[in-house]
Amino acid sequence: MANVVVVGGQWGDEGKGKIVDWLSERADVIARFQGGHNAGHTLVINGQVYKLSLLPSGIVRGGKLSVIGNGVVLDPWALMAEIETLRGQGVTVSPETLMIAENTSLILPLHGELDRAREAHLSMAKIGTTGRGIGPAYEDKVGRRAIRVADLDDAATLDLRISRLLNHHNALRAGLGLDPVDPEALKAKLLEIAPMVLPFAAPVWRVMLEARRAGKRILFEGAQGSLLDVDFGTYPFVTSSNTLAGMAAAGTGIGPTAIDFVLGIVKAYTTRVGEGPFPTELHDDTGQRLGERGHEFGTVTGRKRRCGWFDAVLVRQTCATSGVTGIALTKLDVLDGFDTLRICTGYDLDGERLDHLPTASEQQSRVRPIYEELPGWSESTEGARSWSELPGNAVKYVRRIEELIQCPVALLSTSPEREDTILVTDPFAD
């Protein structure tokens, strides 16, 4: 059976939640493979709104196994709060419906404190972090001093892990003017949360292998967007993990040969939250109109998103780096009523035309978009479920995007409702 990876093709906030939910109805296993609780998905199911940060979108669907893979950094207190919220909405969350990889690194309170203190000290050079400790937790993972889920079940090992961790962190905290962390207090917190987390712990790599051998359909769910990838994004204004499709294999332990289809989620215009370059950003009434019509506020942070025209250069680049098979184009209805639409087809850097975003941060901030104009449409596309329901100019707009990004549209979303989706290519087709 086909296994599908879903990744964001821009800076996140592309509408992955709806698409993953739409696909999860046909999947058996839904696995989250990177990021932390800085990501956010909003699902609307039968009028009920669910806001998820850590839990895979499939958790709200009965009969599915949701998996948090080892590529995620996990705040156990945030996880339990999210589980309780969902339970209050009538969602069953149990070890039969949710598994957490035993080798998943934990986000601790000290990580958030360090994250916020660093951002405050950066002054004019802020990264735009959410302050939730994701970056520092990944640093500890790479530095081989992280506390992992499996450590919660071994008090002796936990003592060693805490000692090694605090040797590093207390020195950092002293330099930032923060009080040292008391090892016994930290241990007590971890032992208190351990009985709530450990029932969900499992060797996820083995569970995934067995699911694949049994012919089950697996949906791999990414967080953030490809342009926030720590290697291929707009560095240093990026997240601290790899957000590309290749991370699905390493972040769950299943191996790259298990991936059959990569679906890139792409908004019909462009948005970004936080700091960093944004070549097509609009500071005028048009940008304001896109933000208001698209309800562009972050699910997790509530921050207003920056808005601009569709950037085909960036999406073509992310389709290449993630090996995207087809895209899901979302929020087409937000463009209803515009007389003229623009698509960025290239960049001008000091008189030189570029067909890609340069790697150097300083050059990224100086590129200017080269636009192609297309006629808009006055008719509504909201709720359309077939090509025949779309205005002619809307179809032309979609087709031109396909040409420019060199990747076909597999799905087209025309409202937040999950059924308002035009299926072109079935990602789960064998």
Closest CA to 416 of 152, 38, 88, 41: 41
- Residue 102: CB atoms within 10 A of its CB come to 19
Return the SS3 of 65: strand
Opening angle at CA 111, ends 188 and 137, nearest 5: 105
Q: Kindly provide the b/e burial profile for residues 201-214, where b requires at least 16 CB atoms within 10 angstroms of the residue's own CB.
A: bbebbebbeebbee
H/E segment holding residue 44:
strand 41-45
How far is the first Cα of the chain from the last one, in angstroms, to the nearest whole number? 6
Label residue 29 left, alpha or beta by phi (over 0 means left) and psi (-120 to 50 means alpha): beta
DSSP state of 372: E
User: Which residue of the set 13, 115, 140, 151 is catalytic?
Assistant: 13
Q: Is there a contact between 298 and 13 (Cβ–Cβ < 8 Å)? A: yes
The token pair at 315 is: 């999406």
Q: Is there a contact between 261 and 222 (Cβ–Cβ < 8 Å)? A: no
The token pair at 56 is: 């895979």
Question: From CA 330, how far away is CA 311, in angstroms rounded?
Answer: 14
At which residue do the structure tokens 């009080």 appear?
Answer: 179
Helices 109-122 + 183-197 axis angle, to 10 = 120
Question: From CA 92, how far away is CA 157, in angstroms rounded?
Answer: 33
Closest CA to 253 of 363, 102, 388: 102
Return the SS3 of 417: coil
User: Is-catalytic flag, 336?
Assistant: no
User: Is-catalytic flag, 121?
Assistant: no
Question: Tell me, what amino acid is at 235?
Answer: Y
The alpha carbon of residue 280 and the mean position of all alpha carbons in its chain are separated, in whole angstroms, by: 21
User: Which residue of the set 37, 41, 111, 169 is catalytic?
Assistant: 41
Catalytic residues: 13, 41
